Amino acid sequence: MNHYETVFILTPVLSDVQMKEAVEKFTKVLTDNGATIVNEENWGLRKLAYPIEKKSTGFYTLVEFDAEPEAVKNLEVAYRRDERVIRFLTFRLDKYAHEYAQKRRSRRADKAAAAPVTEETTTNEN
């Protein structure tokens, strides 16, 4: 099995529910084809570098997965058939990129575990 990352941009006119539904659809395509999802990140609504289909923003999502090349072909067919997808890019990670992705995930997990102290918790202590 190879290690892959895919980033896709969904049209900004979608609601949060519709956006999550689209992400679930694509992860289901992967799992139905024998892939294992390693990481999924929702980057939210971001400004595009240049207008695409007269849209200047889009919902970005990153999915890391381990799969056979046939699963990637099926995923990209699903992207092309779905009108909600503005752009997508899927690439195979070499061993260095895979190691970097693992380090990046662990750093994000460490930051999430060390949640910042809020004002509410400091006022309750006094």
Three-state SS for 116?
coil
Please, which residues bridge with residue 75 across strands?
none
User: Does 120 have pLDDT greater than 80?
Assistant: no
| Greater pLDDT, 117 or 3 | 3
Q: How far is CA 14 from CA 10, 71, 86, in A?
A: 8, 26, 12
Q: Which CATH number fits domain 2-110: 3.30.70.3000, 3.40.50.300, 3.30.70.60, 1.10.10.10?
A: 3.30.70.60
Residue 115: which pLDDT band, with cuts at 50, 70 and 90?
low
What digits encode the pLDDT tens for the residues 90-106?
A: 999 998 988 998 898 88
Q: Where are the domains of the chain?
A: 2-110
Q: Give the span between the Cα atoms of 51 and 39, in whole angstroms.
A: 28
Q: Give the span between the Cα atoms of 88 and 86, in whole angstroms.
A: 7
Q: How many CA atoms lie within 13 A of 118 on its CB side?
A: 4
Please, which residues bridge with residue 59 across strands?
10, 45
What digits encode the pLDDT tens for the residues 21-43?
A: 999 999 999 999 999 999 999 99
Q: What would the mean pLDDT of 63-73 be, rounded to a whole number? A: 94
User: Does 85 have pLDDT greater than 60?
Assistant: yes
- Residue 116: the pLDDT is 66
On average, the pLDDT of the chain sits at 89
Q: Give the span between the Cα atoms of 37 and 80, in whole angstroms.
A: 21
Residue carrying the six token digits 């979608």:
14
Residue 119: which pLDDT band, with cuts at 50, 70 and 90?
low
